[in-house]
Amino acid sequence: MINSFMTIGEQILIVFLMMLIGYVCGKQGMIDNRLADGLTDICMKITIPSSILLAFQREFEARLVQEFLLSCLLAGAGYLIAVPIAFLTIRDKNRKRQSTLRFAAAFPNCAMMAFPLQEAMFGADGVFCGAAAVAMFNVVFWPLGTAAMAPGKKNDLARKCFLNPCVLATAAAMLLFFFRITIPKVPAEAVSRLAALNLPLCMIVLGQKLSRKPLLQLFSDRGGLLAAGEKLLLSPILMMLAMKVFAVGGTVGMSALIAIASPAAASVVMLAVTYRQDAELAASSVALSTLLSLLTMPLVIALGGWLLL
C-alpha cells in the first residue's frame, strides 16, 4: 500500500512539474494558443504514434498472445462500463463542454500513469498487459472522439476516424508484434527518442491551457468533479466487481484495474484542441483528476488486490 502511494505520488509529481512549466510559459506569454495548437499537432501526428509503436516492440511469446487478448477484452469491457455511464449522467446545455467532460470521465491515462505502477508491481508482464490496454484505448478513443467532437460530413468523418495517425499507428504496432517484425536499430532509436517527447509536450500543452483559467476553478466546477468521481471511483469499482464475478484476477486482472483506475487521459486535451472544443475545461478536468488520483488509485488497487489476487 505504501509502495503504491509512493509510486503514484512520484508519477504525479513528475506530471505536475511538467505542467507547471507549461503553465508558467503560458502566463509569461512564451507559449500562446497558436503555438500550443502546433505542439498538439506534433503530439497527435508524431509523438503519440511513436509511443504506440514502441510499446509493442518486444519479444514475441505464445503465452503473451493469450494475455494480450484477455487484456484487450478487459479494457474493452472497461469502456463498455465507463462510456455509457459518462454519456448518460453528464449533460450540459453547452455541447462543447458536455463532450469534453464525458471524455474526461470515460477515458484513462493508461500509459503515462499506469505503466510505472504496472511495472513496479508485475514487471515486464504488467507493462505488456498495460500495452494491450493502450492499444484498446487508441482503437476506441480516437474514432469515438472524432465522431463526437469533429465537425464534418459522414464521409469526411469516417476518414478522420480511421485514418487518424494514432489509429494507424496502433494497427501497425499490432501487426509488427504478431508477425514478429522488429524495427531496425537506427529507425527504432529515432522512434524511441520521438516517443520520449510525448509526455513533456502533452503536459506543456496542458499547462498552457490551464494558464487561461483561474486555478481555483478546478474545485468549483461541479461537472469536473462529477467526471473525476466517475473516472476515479465509480468505473473502477464496477469493473472490479465484474472481474470478481467472472473470476478474472492475477497480473492481467490487476493490470487492467490499474489502467482503468488511472486519471483522465491527457489525450482529451489534445482532442479538444484539435477539434476546437473546450480545451481549457479539458486541461482543468485532467489536472483535477490527476491530483485526486493520488488518493483514489492506492485505495482502488488495495481493494483490487484483496478481491482479485
Alpha carbon distances (Å) from 168 to 3, 12, 44, 52, 163: 37, 29, 12, 10, 6
Residue labelled with grid coordinates 492475477: 250
What span, in angstroms and rounded, lies between the C-alpha atoms of 48 and 183? 17
**Do residues 74 and 135 lie in contact, with contact meaning Cβ atoms separated by under 8 Å?**
no
In this prediction the pTM is: 0.80
Task: Kindly list the domain boundaries of the chain, sorted by start residue.
Answer: 2-308
> How much is the pLDDT for 56?
79
In this prediction, residue 293 carries a pLDDT of 85
How many other β-carbons are positioned within 10 Å of the β-carbon of residue 197? Answer: 17
Per-residue pLDDT of the chain (309 residues; tens, 9 = 90+): 556 556 667 777 887 888 899 999 999 999 998 898 899 889 878 988 888 788 778 777 777 788 889 999 999 999 999 999 999 999 988 888 999 999 999 999 887 678 767 877 787 788 778 888 888 898 888 888 888 887 665 555 566 667 778 778 888 988 998 888 999 999 999 999 998 888 888 889 888 888 877 777 778 889 999 999 999 999 999 999 999 999 888 889 999 999 999 999 988 988 888 888 888 889 889 889 988 887 898 889 888 888 887
Q: Which residues contact 183 (CB under 8 A, 6 or more apart)?
A: 53, 57, 176, 191
Q: What is the pLDDT of residue 211?
A: 86
Interatomic CA distance for residues 52 and 168, integer angstroms: 10
Q: Hey, what CATH topology would domain 2-308 get?
A: Na+/H+ antiporter like fold (1.20.1530)
**Share of the chain residues as helix, strand and coil, in percent rounded to the nearest 5:** 80, 0, 20
